[in-house]
Amino acid sequence: MILTDTAIEQAIAEGSIVIEPFRRECLGSNSYDVHLGSTLAIYREAVLDAKKHNAVDCFDLPAEGLVLQPETLYLGVTEEYTETHRHVPFLEGKSSVGRLGIDIHATAGKGDIGFANTWTLEISVKQPVRIYAGMPIGQLIYFETSGESSVPYSRKAGAKYTTRSATPIESMMFRNWDEGNRCWK
Protein backbone atom coordinates (compact mmCIF):
# COMPACT_ATOMS: atom_id res chain seq x y z
CA MET A 1 0.00 0.00 0.00
CA ILE A 2 1.17 3.53 -0.80
CA LEU A 3 0.92 6.15 1.94
CA THR A 4 -1.38 9.12 1.34
CA ASP A 5 -0.56 12.68 2.34
CA THR A 6 -2.28 12.28 5.71
CA ALA A 7 -0.49 8.97 6.35
CA ILE A 8 2.87 10.57 5.45
CA GLU A 9 2.18 13.44 7.86
CA GLN A 10 1.17 10.97 10.58
CA ALA A 11 4.38 8.94 10.04
CA ILE A 12 6.40 12.18 10.28
CA ALA A 13 4.63 13.09 13.53
CA GLU A 14 5.40 9.61 14.89
CA GLY A 15 9.04 9.82 13.74
CA SER A 16 8.96 6.79 11.43
CA ILE A 17 9.56 9.11 8.44
CA VAL A 18 11.91 12.10 8.67
CA ILE A 19 12.14 14.76 5.95
CA GLU A 20 14.42 17.76 6.61
CA PRO A 21 13.50 20.37 5.66
CA PHE A 22 9.82 19.45 5.53
CA ARG A 23 7.61 21.89 3.64
CA ARG A 24 3.89 21.15 3.69
CA GLU A 25 3.44 22.64 0.20
CA CYS A 26 5.69 19.89 -1.22
CA LEU A 27 3.36 17.16 0.00
CA GLY A 28 1.23 15.72 -2.80
CA SER A 29 -1.79 13.48 -2.38
CA ASN A 30 0.47 10.40 -2.11
CA SER A 31 4.07 11.63 -2.47
CA TYR A 32 6.55 14.25 -1.34
CA ASP A 33 8.45 16.46 -3.81
CA VAL A 34 12.22 16.64 -3.36
CA HIS A 35 14.53 19.29 -4.80
CA LEU A 36 17.91 19.37 -6.48
CA GLY A 37 20.71 20.31 -4.13
CA SER A 38 23.34 22.88 -5.03
CA THR A 39 26.17 20.40 -5.73
CA LEU A 40 26.77 18.12 -8.70
CA ALA A 41 29.61 15.70 -9.38
CA ILE A 42 31.11 14.07 -12.45
CA TYR A 43 33.55 11.19 -12.64
CA ARG A 44 37.16 12.12 -13.38
CA GLU A 45 37.76 9.22 -15.75
CA ALA A 46 35.90 8.55 -19.00
CA VAL A 47 36.06 4.79 -18.39
CA LEU A 48 34.74 3.59 -15.04
CA ASP A 49 35.90 0.35 -13.38
CA ALA A 50 33.47 -1.53 -11.10
CA LYS A 51 36.37 -3.10 -9.15
CA LYS A 52 38.02 0.21 -8.34
CA HIS A 53 37.14 3.44 -6.60
CA ASN A 54 36.17 5.94 -9.30
CA ALA A 55 36.86 9.45 -8.03
CA VAL A 56 34.51 12.35 -8.72
CA ASP A 57 34.89 16.10 -8.88
CA CYS A 58 32.15 18.03 -7.08
CA PHE A 59 31.11 21.54 -8.06
CA ASP A 60 28.39 23.99 -7.12
CA LEU A 61 25.62 24.84 -9.53
CA PRO A 62 25.88 28.49 -10.57
CA ALA A 63 22.93 30.82 -9.92
CA GLU A 64 22.28 31.04 -13.68
CA GLY A 65 21.97 27.24 -13.83
CA LEU A 66 24.01 24.71 -15.73
CA VAL A 67 23.42 23.14 -19.12
CA LEU A 68 23.72 19.37 -18.83
CA GLN A 69 25.00 17.48 -21.86
CA PRO A 70 23.97 14.06 -23.17
CA GLU A 71 26.45 11.20 -22.77
CA THR A 72 27.65 12.56 -19.43
CA LEU A 73 26.61 11.02 -16.13
CA TYR A 74 26.05 13.66 -13.48
CA LEU A 75 25.64 12.80 -9.82
CA GLY A 76 23.27 15.13 -8.02
CA VAL A 77 21.87 15.19 -4.52
CA THR A 78 18.54 16.09 -2.99
CA GLU A 79 18.24 19.12 -0.73
CA GLU A 80 16.20 16.93 1.57
CA TYR A 81 17.66 14.56 4.12
CA THR A 82 15.31 11.65 4.79
CA GLU A 83 14.96 8.74 7.16
CA THR A 84 12.56 5.82 6.91
CA HIS A 85 12.11 3.45 9.83
CA ARG A 86 8.99 1.43 8.92
CA HIS A 87 8.35 2.16 5.23
CA VAL A 88 10.08 1.55 1.91
CA PRO A 89 10.72 4.81 0.04
CA PHE A 90 10.75 4.95 -3.76
CA LEU A 91 12.22 7.95 -5.56
CA GLU A 92 10.65 8.71 -8.92
CA GLY A 93 11.26 11.57 -11.30
CA LYS A 94 8.61 14.21 -11.64
CA SER A 95 6.76 14.09 -14.95
CA SER A 96 7.71 17.72 -15.67
CA VAL A 97 11.39 16.76 -15.30
CA GLY A 98 10.96 13.70 -17.51
CA ARG A 99 9.32 15.84 -20.18
CA LEU A 100 12.54 17.85 -20.31
CA GLY A 101 14.41 14.63 -21.07
CA ILE A 102 16.01 14.38 -17.63
CA ASP A 103 16.39 10.98 -15.97
CA ILE A 104 17.20 11.21 -12.26
CA HIS A 105 18.15 7.63 -11.53
CA ALA A 106 19.61 4.83 -13.56
CA THR A 107 18.61 1.95 -11.27
CA ALA A 108 18.54 3.20 -7.68
CA GLY A 109 14.95 4.29 -7.20
CA LYS A 110 14.19 2.18 -4.13
CA GLY A 111 15.41 2.90 -0.66
CA ASP A 112 15.47 0.56 2.32
CA ILE A 113 13.98 0.52 5.77
CA GLY A 114 16.59 2.27 7.89
CA PHE A 115 17.94 4.47 5.07
CA ALA A 116 18.97 7.83 6.53
CA ASN A 117 20.61 10.31 4.16
CA THR A 118 20.14 12.62 1.25
CA TRP A 119 19.48 10.86 -2.07
CA THR A 120 22.23 10.70 -4.67
CA LEU A 121 20.76 11.15 -8.15
CA GLU A 122 22.22 9.54 -11.27
CA ILE A 123 21.27 12.25 -13.75
CA SER A 124 21.40 11.88 -17.51
CA VAL A 125 19.74 13.91 -20.24
CA LYS A 126 18.45 13.18 -23.75
CA GLN A 127 19.41 16.61 -25.09
CA PRO A 128 21.08 19.68 -23.58
CA VAL A 129 18.96 21.14 -20.79
CA ARG A 130 19.58 23.85 -18.19
CA ILE A 131 18.96 22.90 -14.56
CA TYR A 132 18.98 24.93 -11.35
CA ALA A 133 19.67 24.31 -7.68
CA GLY A 134 16.44 24.07 -5.74
CA MET A 135 14.27 22.99 -8.66
CA PRO A 136 11.80 20.17 -7.99
CA ILE A 137 13.56 17.04 -9.24
CA GLY A 138 11.65 14.02 -7.95
CA GLN A 139 9.05 12.66 -5.61
CA LEU A 140 9.23 10.19 -2.76
CA ILE A 141 6.53 7.57 -2.50
CA TYR A 142 6.30 5.51 0.68
CA PHE A 143 5.12 1.91 0.79
CA GLU A 144 3.91 0.09 3.88
CA THR A 145 5.74 -3.08 4.79
CA SER A 146 4.59 -6.29 6.42
CA GLY A 147 6.55 -7.30 9.50
CA GLU A 148 9.59 -5.83 11.18
CA SER A 149 12.97 -5.64 9.48
CA SER A 150 15.56 -7.72 11.34
CA VAL A 151 18.46 -5.61 10.02
CA PRO A 152 17.57 -2.09 8.85
CA TYR A 153 19.91 -0.55 6.27
CA SER A 154 21.57 1.72 8.83
CA ARG A 155 22.72 -1.36 10.82
CA LYS A 156 23.55 -3.61 7.86
CA ALA A 157 27.21 -4.70 7.95
CA GLY A 158 27.76 -4.11 4.23
CA ALA A 159 25.83 -0.84 3.95
CA LYS A 160 27.91 1.51 1.80
CA TYR A 161 25.92 4.74 1.92
CA THR A 162 25.39 5.49 5.61
CA THR A 163 27.59 8.56 6.09
CA ARG A 164 25.39 11.65 6.01
CA SER A 165 26.35 13.82 3.06
CA ALA A 166 25.14 17.04 1.48
CA THR A 167 27.09 16.18 -1.67
CA PRO A 168 26.61 13.37 -4.20
CA ILE A 169 28.22 10.06 -3.30
CA GLU A 170 30.03 8.14 -6.02
CA SER A 171 29.57 4.42 -6.61
CA MET A 172 30.94 2.18 -3.88
CA MET A 173 30.56 -0.97 -6.00
CA PHE A 174 34.30 -1.61 -5.57
CA ARG A 175 33.59 -2.52 -1.93
CA ASN A 176 31.67 -5.56 -3.20
CA TRP A 177 34.80 -6.97 -4.85
CA ASP A 178 36.75 -9.39 -2.67
CA GLU A 179 40.28 -9.24 -4.09
CA GLY A 180 41.56 -12.03 -1.85
CA ASN A 181 38.92 -14.51 -3.02
CA ARG A 182 38.68 -12.96 -6.50
CA CYS A 183 34.89 -12.79 -6.38
CA TRP A 184 31.96 -10.42 -5.85
CA LYS A 185 30.27 -10.47 -2.48
How many angstroms separate the Cα of 114 from the Cα of each of 88, 106, 148, 152, 159? 9, 22, 11, 5, 11
Stated pTM of the model: 0.91
pLDDT at position 104: 96
Which pLDDT does position 21 carry in this prediction? 97
| Residue-level pLDDT at 75 | 97
Residue 57 sits at the vertex; the CA angle it makes with 55 and 182, to the nearest 5 degrees, is 10
Question: Can you give the pLDDT at residue 185?
Answer: 83
- Look at residue 147 in the predicted model and tell me its pLDDT: 82
Question: pLDDT tens, 11-51?
Answer: 999 999 999 999 999 999 999 999 999 999 999 999 999 99
Residues of the chain with pLDDT under 50: none
In contact, 78 and 97? CB cutoff 8 Å: no
Write down the CATH number for the domain with range 5-146+165-177: 2.70.40.10
Chain segment 55-65, per-residue pLDDT in tens: 999 999 999 99
> Which pLDDT does position 146 carry in this prediction?
85
Predicted pLDDT of residue 133: 98
Closest CA to 71 of 96, 88, 46: 46
Looking at the annotation, which residues are catalytic? Answer: 122
State the Cα–Cα distance between residues 168 and 16, nearest whole angstrom: 24
How far apart CA 110 and CA 11 sit, in angstroms, is: 19
- Counting Cβ atoms within 10 Å, is residue 57 exposed (0-12), middle (13-18) or buried (19+)? exposed
Residue 57 confidence (pLDDT): 97
